[in-house]
């Protein structure tokens, strides 16, 4: 089915473990984004990508790594998870025009114990 999908939907891990959240879109959108949503902070941008092999930091990039070897995939890796990274993570994509809306995935609820 066309769209943007995130996996897993829920994840529980322990501090210090590496975790990778997956994001896949079928529209061939140029832009992809990772946000985290925390109460009182809204959605904060972690990383974004304007095209394959082009990534840039957002507001809260520390502790996260991204890659974009293919246009359709944009995985987010927590290299050594910390409790402060417990959050809901959203992936999004859009076309190249600034007035285009973002299409969001369903989110991944991550708990770091």
Partner 1 sequence: AQTVTQSQPEMSVQEAETVTLSCTYDTSESDYYLFWYKQPPSRQMILVIRQEAYKQQNATENRFSVNFQKAAKSFSLKISDSQLGDAAMYFCAYRSAFPPRGDMRFGAGTRLTVKP
- Cα 45 to its chain centre, rounded Å, is 9
DSSP classification of residue 74: -
Pair 52, 68: CB distance under 8 Å: yes
Decide: is 12 part of the binding site for partner 1 (CB under 8 A): no
- Cα 66 to its chain centre, rounded Å, is 8
Contacts of 104 (CB under 8 A, 6+ apart): 4, 90, 91, 92
Decide: is 44 part of the binding site for partner 1 (CB under 8 A): yes
Decide: is 98 part of the binding site for partner 1 (CB under 8 A): yes
**Which span (16-24, 69-77, 78-86, 97-105) binds partner 1, by CB under 8 A?**
97-105
**Which span (16-24, 42-50, 70-78, 79-87) binds partner 1, by CB under 8 A?**
42-50
Interface residues with partner 1 (CB under 8 A) are 31, 33, 35, 40-45, 48, 50-51, 54, 56, 58-59, 88, 90, 92, 94, 96, 98-99, 101-102, 104, 106-107
């Amino acid at each position: 089915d066309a769209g943007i999908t995130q996996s897993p939907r829920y994840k529980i891990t322990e501090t210090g473990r590496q975790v990778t959240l997956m994001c896949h879109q079928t529209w061939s959108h140029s832009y992809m984004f990772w946000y985290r949503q925390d109460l009182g902070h809204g959605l904060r941008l972690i990383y974004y990508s304007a095209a394959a092999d082009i990534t840039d930091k957002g507001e809260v990039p520390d502790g996260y790594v991204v890659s974009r070897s293919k246009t359709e995939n944009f995985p987010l890796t927590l290299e050594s998870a910390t409790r402060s990274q417990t959050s809901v993570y959203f992936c999004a994509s859009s076309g190249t025009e600034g007035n285009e809306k973002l299409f969001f995935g369903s989110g991944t609820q991550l708990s770091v114990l």
